[in-house]
Structure 1
């Protein structure tokens, strides 16, 4: 496997007119070799296999070029081949090469979260290249409503599960339903419904997690843009809060403070973000894994973080009601 990897890594990098000095595969949450750090005669780069079709990669590339033209520079620069191509194909697999960003991951310093909030707000201010109405948040809400209904129907069976999983759902299953029902009431608020009807299309990163945030003396960079799309900025804010802050209110406060420096939020926007945040998505995903006969890998994380999540929901409710 190592020999085979060496052959295609050298072949792909040679397509960019570069000579490799050394290279190392690096893992992600999901893959043993998600990206390759390659040192060459012209510097160090990140080589990434793309898991998708050429049309999708072309769309990602076009959106990143749009961000660059709009002055958003918190993205690793893609390298082009001598022919000006932004990606290459080798043995049926697509690859792209970008600059390697050295730096540190998010710490537990509120200033880091404030900077992340600023960067995400700058991204969300870049509109998608279309004048059509978005509807992104409404589509998310409808999808989550279906997940909630399936979860509610399966809850009696989950409670009968032996061991820690069944015990957890017996203790917290009704709370999960209550949290979702409170979110549906917020989504149905007249002000929120009007906001949703006028939502403008905007670009989102799609996967803001701690490993995808790097800080150095040049600023903050977001990595792994393969999920960049037109989407719900409100859901991305809520999801980012859940993904990166460890549910620490100081980090959440700093992130939102940074975000509102560049994109101030109205009372109904705050209410919408709070509603997305309170949805018990982790409980739904664990339940789905059980229904599918899979190992619910997220369960232990959910169990440990649940008290902090409940406290964070209460804090965000107070934040959302400040200007209501």
Structure 2
């Protein structure tokens, strides 16, 4: 599939949702030149988005879009208003199929990125609302085990580091400078995750899971012009661990800023207070060097080089953020 969409194809897809496009513009993301298409119609501006299956799941593309659409419908029916509204197509579904690719349409959100303490408190409250409200919904599906996936990626990272002499000079230097520290942090986290309290917490979560976004990044959070916070790009939503969702949101949005980290956690705990074991769980997950793990499958790609370079430049900030979360854990007494 090409990165651009013909005007005729965009018109055909959008009309299936009861709209007539007047103008359309492709919007790029970090990964794709045409990740989304902004469509101007007589009744407003909308986002047309292609749906791509997750390779982390065994199910096919159609099964995945059906599951995602079911989850979206449940959230919309139960008053969760922090995601753009998905439109129903002429078939009654929240998506349509064109040339073998599912597409969906949502309202377009004009706004800005997060930039202050209040914004991060809002994000924390929205995440807590998603997690707490979805636990009471009649959701079908399997619990997605991010932690098992991370175990596999950690093993691959260690194998790659053991063969660092076969890498280029820059990568060898990076592994020599930071690789061992990454494995030490991982070892500490894996030990903590094996503690009886956290094992029990994980088992309970699998019995009563919640919906998680799975891809909270700065690019996927918008502060609308009226001040409301919206999370976009719900393609990877699934039943999973709320602690994974919080830990990855902290890593992917706060830029290791202590004020932003505290603000996100403060907002979250306003609606969903966390005991010491839960805090320890989040701190342990945050410590994992997930970015480094993501580079080992394609170490020669420029993007992998960029990720490792960013990790090196922000290393001291990361260490301070880990210490901050350890302090946050110790502030909460054992119940």
TM-score of the aligned structures, taking structure 2 as reference length: 0.89
Q: CA deviation at 1:275?
A: 0.6
Q: CA deviation at 1:146?
A: 2.7
Task: Quote the Cα distance in structure 2 between the aligned partners of 1:50 and 1:92.
Answer: 11
Indicate the residue corresponding to 1:73 in structure 2: 81
Given that residues 34 and 48 in structure 1 are in contact (C-alpha distance below 8 angstroms), is that contact kept between their aligned partners in structure 2?
Answer: yes
- Select the residue among 172, 178, 192 that pairs with 1:172: 178
How many residues of Structure 1 are paired with residues of Structure 2 in the alignment? 318
- Select the residue among 277, 286, 297 that pairs with 1:277: 286
Q: CA deviation at 1:159?
A: 5.4
Task: Quote the Cα distance in structure 1 between the aligned partners of 2:289 and 2:234.
Answer: 26
Deviations 1:257-296 (A, max 9, x none): 0000000001100011111010111222223322xx5442
5+ long unaligned stretches in structure 2: 54-60
Q: What's the Cα RMSD here?
A: 2.1
Q: CA deviation at 1:131?
A: 8.6
Is 1:9 equivalent to 2:10 in the alignment?
Answer: yes
Task: Quote the Cα distance in structure 2 between the aligned partners of 1:142 and 1:90.
Answer: 35
Q: Secondary structure at the match of 2:94?
A: coil
Task: Quote the Cα distance in structure 2 between the aligned partners of 1:91 and 1:144.
Answer: 34
Task: Quote the Cα distance in structure 2 between the aligned partners of 1:154 and 1:4.
Answer: 39
The 1:313–1:2 alpha-carbon spacing in structure 2 relative to 1, beyond 3 Å, is closer
The 1:59–1:294 alpha-carbon spacing in structure 2 relative to 1, beyond 3 Å, is same
Indicate the residue corresponding to 2:122 in structure 1: 115
Indicate the residue corresponding to 1:312 in structure 2: 321
Deviations 1:18-48 (A, max 9, x none): 2221110000111000111111112111111
Is 1:252 equivalent to 2:261 in the alignment?
Answer: yes
Is 1:196 equivalent to 2:202 in the alignment?
Answer: yes
Given that residues 26 and 33 in structure 1 are in contact (C-alpha distance below 8 angstroms), is that contact kept between their aligned partners in structure 2?
Answer: yes
Task: Quote the Cα distance in structure 1 between the aligned partners of 2:297 and 2:263.
Answer: 33
Given that residues 23 and 36 in structure 1 are in contact (C-alpha distance below 8 angstroms), is that contact kept between their aligned partners in structure 2?
Answer: yes
The 1:4–1:119 alpha-carbon spacing in structure 2 relative to 1, beyond 3 Å, is closer
Given that residues 238 and 273 in structure 1 are in contact (C-alpha distance below 8 angstroms), is that contact kept between their aligned partners in structure 2?
Answer: yes
Deviations 1:43-90 (A, max 9, x none): 111111122322211211110111122221111111123453322222
Task: Quote the Cα distance in structure 1 between the aligned partners of 2:3 and 2:288.
Answer: 43
TM-score of the aligned structures, taking structure 1 as reference length: 0.91
Task: Quote the Cα distance in structure 1 between the aligned partners of 2:194 and 2:325.
Answer: 18
Indicate the residue corresponding to 2:24 in structure 1: 23
Q: CA deviation at 1:118?
A: 0.4
Given that residues 158 and 287 in structure 1 are in contact (C-alpha distance below 8 angstroms), is that contact kept between their aligned partners in structure 2?
Answer: no
